[in-house]
Amino acid sequence: MAHVEIPQIVNDFGNEAILYFGSIDKQIPFKVYTSPVTFKYQKYKMHRKKKPFVYIDTTPNENNAYDCFLFNVPLLERVSIQAVFKDPRQVADYSCCELSEADNFSFIATEVKKRVIEKKLRYYRQLYPQPLPNTQVPA
């Protein structure tokens, strides 16, 4: 069983956080399992029994990364992954990637703050009903 480590991914999206996991030439995509329950029942699938798949243990290990266990894969030295990572700076630890497009973290943070504040103000200005006083008279 082959084993690789990847940076932490955003778990809120489930399997949709991983766009591609497979060979470097993008010819052999692997089926990705992040839940132990769905991974357990993979062995009962008839059509996917012999195809490559990967189980990603979403508990961070001592290197603050996720462990990936590869099954039914040919001998590979490297794998390719396209995913939504929790911290893009963790990707810098790997020799494959450049952080040229994600090096301005302050810009991203200010944009996120700006959007959240804008949505909150829009909600309270337009949609939030004003509280009315209780004018009921006791019987």
CB 34 within 8 A of CB 56: yes
Mean pLDDT of 50-76: 87
pTM assigned to the model: 0.63
Per-domain residue ranges of the chain: 2-93, 98-128
Joined together, the tokens standing for residue 31 give 């089926």
Name which of 55, 85, 86 is nearest 71 in CA terms: 55
**For 111-124, how does the pLDDT look when each residue is reduced to its tens digit (9 = 90+)?**
888 899 898 888 77
Weakest mean pLDDT among 1-15, 55-69, 95-109: 95-109
**For 69-87, how does the pLDDT look when each residue is reduced to its tens digit (9 = 90+)?**
998 887 878 888 898 888 8
Is it the case that residue 104 has pLDDT exceeding 60?
no
pLDDT at 67: 92
CB 54 within 8 A of CB 71: yes
